[in-house]
Structure 1
Amino acid sequence: MLLFRQVTFYLAIAGFAGVFFLVQDMRRKPPAPPPAVEPARSPFPASVAATGLLEAARENVKIAAPKPALIQQVAVAVGSKVKAGDTLLQLDDRELRARLGTLRAQIEALRAALHTDRVLHADAADQLVRAEKLARDRVISDDEKKRREFAVQLAETRVGKTDADIAAMDAQLRQVQTELDILTVRAPRDGTILQVNVRAGEFAGTAPTEPLMILGEVEKLQVRAEVDEQNAALVEPGRPAVAYLKGDTQRKLPLRFVRIEPFVIPKRSLTGDSAERVDTRVLQIIFELDRPEVPLYVGQQVDVFIERATPLSVVSPANVPVAKQ
């Protein structure tokens, strides 16, 4: 019995010790895993960090439809190089082409009617000449001569009206031709098709959720860097900067200052970092760069470091002057 109590006592002590060491082990934080990719570091003694986005130098053009219509044909594909005026999209134009054929037929009918009216006018003019000769010889009365004069005036009026009808039809024909030309969406400038978000047979509205196409010039790229508004005062125009592609911290891309967009906007370009702030506003700065040997693509994110003139001096509360009362 005594032996059993001793064994139970030692087992209880061992259990308490095991629980103690288990709790201590659970409280011990594991070391943080090393980053998958070494983060980019600034080459400047003092700098302002920003997130950048590669884009076409002349900025991308979002192609839209001029009016709601069914898409009949998509004339380009992603990567196609186009010149200004080249066809990008053909909207459904069957109804307008039918109207065009109808107007042309009506114009031909009016031209035939005009020819008839001119013949009648020539006949009435000839009858008037004969009537005037007969009136001088007192063969016909003055009333008959007047009727021949009115007949000539009526024929002239009919010729003028038919001419006006033809002019009106020509104006309608030109309007339909203009509407037909509008239904052919053309490239506003030279460039490369970066995105095609529509297919033949789909309906194109005037306010789509995304552009039908995106056109840009990828031969020359620029970086749109976004600096947090809290650091906007640290950015000085004309300062050099460098960029690093995501996942490549060894190859830096020299940047040349172009301009500062003088309008602070809500942050839209997100890096995906779990600690990233999204409820902030940013100042956009444009830099140009020369194409390196490594391939670059529009829409790639880069880490940007902008040189700062001098680092901020740390001001301690003891050094802050106190205004005398």
Structure 2
Amino acid sequence: MVLRRLSFWLALAGILLTIATLWGARIKPAPPPPMEAPPQNPYAVTLAAAGIIEAVNENVRIAPPVSGLVIKIFVKVADHVEKGDPLFQLDDRELRAQLQTKTDSLPSAAARIAEQEIRLRDVQDQLNRLQSVTDRRAVSEDDVQRKWHEAEGAKRALIRARADLHLAKTERDEAQTMLNRLTVRAPRAGTILQVNIRAGEYAMVNAQEPLILLGDTETLQVRADIDEVNAPLVMPGSPAVAYLKGFTDKAIPLTFNRIEPYIVPKRSLTGDNRERVDTRVLQVIYGFEKPAFPVYVGQQVDVYIERSGNPVGPQGGTRLNPHQDHNPVGGESEEAKEPQA
């Protein structure tokens, strides 16, 4: 009897606990306020995009002319280099040995020329003496003819010796050129943005990442990725503004530069979990003056491009853009929103 009563009260307590748990689950805590207010749309009708800051001349991915062992690095990150300055050195011991061999062969080739010149003068002198004899009974015609052929052969040998010397010089110059290629130099002036190779590592021609990344950090631009669905909405000359990620008070006015008329797969990822990675984008280039706050090459920004209005449909009416309420992560357009707390 006691066990029955105890079982009854335990079951009742379990039911009450379950009801209380379910009732408490209905009460959702208020979401915490955002750490930073989202950027405000500055235009009435806007085309939003994800952008990235890059050098005006675009970054140069430095790669070696041939695969080889790196023996010396001449630069470090943030160094400014001029055109032709050395960046890194590949192992050149084999080519230096070849160059030395080619160089050492030049005196021998020059000596053969001197020998052929002496022989030619000797044979030519003998021929002249034979031809100067007027009495054909003293010198036969066959002797003169053989000496003439010998002189012609000496001339040809001299020509061949001179050609051999020229070839030896050409091979030496080729070895010198191949040797110079192993010192990789800056193709233009700029700032070293990345150094991804160290002395002692093996440099590959088709490496996934550049050994050295060179860019011009003095003059920057923004490359905005517009979803291909919204590509017809982009108008040349449209003004725009960019905001740094996480800083809604740091706006950068943009000036239209150009539209690259080729849709490409999206490569610049923002890291948002809602982002589409299988989309294709139209890239719009905007220039800007350096702001008072620091900006860096490779930094991501939210770009808002002013749009005059929605496109006109076939009947003359206004066609609504089905993506206008999306956020700038995917590059879709959006209408102006009320300031958020």
Structures share fold, TM-score greater than 0.5: yes
Q: Compute the RMSD of aligned alpha carbons.
A: 2.5
Relative to structure 1, the CA distance from residue 235 to residue 147 in structure 2 (aligned partners, 3 Å threshold; closer, same or farther) is closer
Shift of 1:314: 8.0
3-state SS in 1 of match to 2:49? strand
Shift of 1:94: 1.8
Shift of 1:274: 2.3
1:30-63 Cα distance to aligned partner (Å, 9 max, x none): 2222222211111112211111101001111111
Task: Return 225-234 or 7-16, whichever deviates more.
Answer: 7-16
Whole-Å separation in 1 of the counterparts to 2:182 and 2:234 = 46
Relative to structure 1, the CA distance from residue 119 to residue 231 in structure 2 (aligned partners, 3 Å threshold; closer, same or farther) is same
Shift of 1:226: 1.2
Q: Which amino acid aligns with 1:174?
A: D
Relative to structure 1, the CA distance from residue 277 to residue 35 in structure 2 (aligned partners, 3 Å threshold; closer, same or farther) is farther
Identity of aligned residues (%): 46
* Aligned equivalent of 2:236: 237
Alignment of 1:1-325 (within 5 A): 16-134=15-133, 136=135, 138-310=137-309
3-state SS in 1 of match to 2:39? coil
Whole-Å separation in 2 of the counterparts to 1:260 and 1:144 = 85
1:189-231 Cα distance to aligned partner (Å, 9 max, x none): 1111111111122222221111111111110110111122233
1:6-36 Cα distance to aligned partner (Å, 9 max, x none): x998887666444322211023222222222
1:109-168 Cα distance to aligned partner (Å, 9 max, x none): 011111111111112222222333345374443333333323322322221111121122
Contact 1:54 1:224 (C-alpha < 8 Å) held by counterparts: yes
Relative to structure 1, the CA distance from residue 13 to residue 165 in structure 2 (aligned partners, 3 Å threshold; closer, same or farther) is closer
Task: Return 156-165 or 226-235, whichever deviates more.
Answer: 226-235
Q: Which amino acid aligns with 1:256?
A: T
3-state SS in 2 of match to 1:109? helix
Contact 1:113 1:162 (C-alpha < 8 Å) held by counterparts: yes
Which segments of 5 or more consecutive residues in structure 2 lack a partner in the other structure?
A: 312-317, 321-341
Q: Which amino acid aligns with 1:188?
A: P
Shift of 1:287: 0.6
Which segments of 5 or more consecutive residues in structure 1 lack a partner in the other structure?
A: 316-325
3-state SS in 2 of match to 1:250? strand
1:221-250 Cα distance to aligned partner (Å, 9 max, x none): 101111222332322221111111112111
Contact 2:83 2:188 (C-alpha < 8 Å) held by counterparts: yes
Q: Which amino acid aligns with 2:149?
A: F
1:152-185 Cα distance to aligned partner (Å, 9 max, x none): 2232222111112112222222222222222222
Whole-Å separation in 2 of the counterparts to 1:61 and 1:145 = 71
Contact 2:243 2:301 (C-alpha < 8 Å) held by counterparts: yes
Relative to structure 1, the CA distance from residue 122 to residue 25 in structure 2 (aligned partners, 3 Å threshold; closer, same or farther) is same
Relative to structure 1, the CA distance from residue 147 to residue 228 in structure 2 (aligned partners, 3 Å threshold; closer, same or farther) is closer
1:251-281 Cα distance to aligned partner (Å, 9 max, x none): 2110011111222222222222222222322
Count of aligned pairs: 313
Contact 1:135 1:142 (C-alpha < 8 Å) held by counterparts: no
Relative to structure 1, the CA distance from residue 145 to residue 286 in structure 2 (aligned partners, 3 Å threshold; closer, same or farther) is same
Contact 1:238 1:257 (C-alpha < 8 Å) held by counterparts: yes
* Aligned equivalent of 1:322: none
1:265-303 Cα distance to aligned partner (Å, 9 max, x none): 222222222222223222211110100111111011111
Shift of 1:92: 2.0
Task: Return 224-233 or 75-84, whichever deviates more.
Answer: 224-233
Contact 1:135 1:145 (C-alpha < 8 Å) held by counterparts: no
Whole-Å separation in 2 of the counterparts to 1:27 and 1:118 = 109
Task: Return 71-80 or 111-120, whichever deviates more.
Answer: 71-80
Whole-Å separation in 2 of the counterparts to 1:149 and 1:234 = 88
Relative to structure 1, the CA distance from residue 114 to residue 314 in structure 2 (aligned partners, 3 Å threshold; closer, same or farther) is closer
